[in-house]
Amino acid sequence: MPAKLKILIVDDHAIVRDGLAAILKFQKDMAVVGEADDGQSAIQKAQELYPDVILMDLMMPNMNGADATAAIKQALPETHILLLTSYGTSSELSRAFRNGATGAITKSLPKEELLSAIRNVAAGMRVASPEIEQTLKEEADMPSLTPRQLEILQSLTRGLTNDDIAREFGLSKAGVKFHLLTIFRKLNVANRTEAVAYALERHLTKS
């Protein structure tokens, strides 16, 4: 009999981990070997258990799924990572794929499609829910902001004024204005209100 796929479940909600484990325990070709509740503990568990597939929540405290994916793939390149997300849009999705994730699905996916996705990523196949494929396409078309520009955009969503931003980042008022004008141009928006709406709609900043 072929060896069972060793599965590590990573999610910061115990009820989600329990639900996934309950589904997987009835699969003859799968075995849940461990659980973790954030990205940092996922790295530790992965190095202890050598799972074939990690079901990885995308958004978690301490360390998100994209960062955990990078660390795990560096240490365990043969382990496949299937990202789980509650929504089809996130600025972290593209980064997670760049970091080595094999697939990504929404948590609302039917059970049979979840099981199929696990088996496919275990075989090295790229998997993505339709909503996620659309998100990845949209993100590929998005303007590229530098890390500093993203930080300033985050500040706008927090309601900070130009003076606040200048103090927070050690910039002159002219420097803040330059960054804002560059951000507006890249996003093709006219002002800070439109920039905030754009950022929130496309999840460009952390919540």
Number of domains in the chain: 2
Does residue 122 lie in a domain region?
yes
| Global confidence as pTM | 0.69
Tell me the pLDDT tens digit for each residue of 176-199.
999 999 999 888 889 999 999 988
Of 95, 114, 139, at which residue does a domain stop? Answer: 139
Report d(CA 37, CA 41) in Å as an integer: 7
Assign residue 92 the CATH number of its domain.
Answer: 3.40.50.2300
Q: Could you tell me if 124 and 167 lie in one domain?
A: no
Q: Could you tell me if 63 and 151 lie in one domain?
A: no
Tokens of 4: 């069972």
pLDDT of 202: 72
Q: Could you tell me if 155 and 123 lie in one domain?
A: no
Residues of the domain holding 156:
147-201
Which residues does 187 contact at the CB level (< 8 Å), separation at least 6?
143, 194, 195, 198, 199
* Percent over 70 (pLDDT), the chain: 92
Strands (E), 93-201: 103-106, 127-128
Q: Could you tell me if 182 and 163 lie in one domain?
A: yes
Of 105, 139, 173, at which residue does a domain stop? Answer: 139
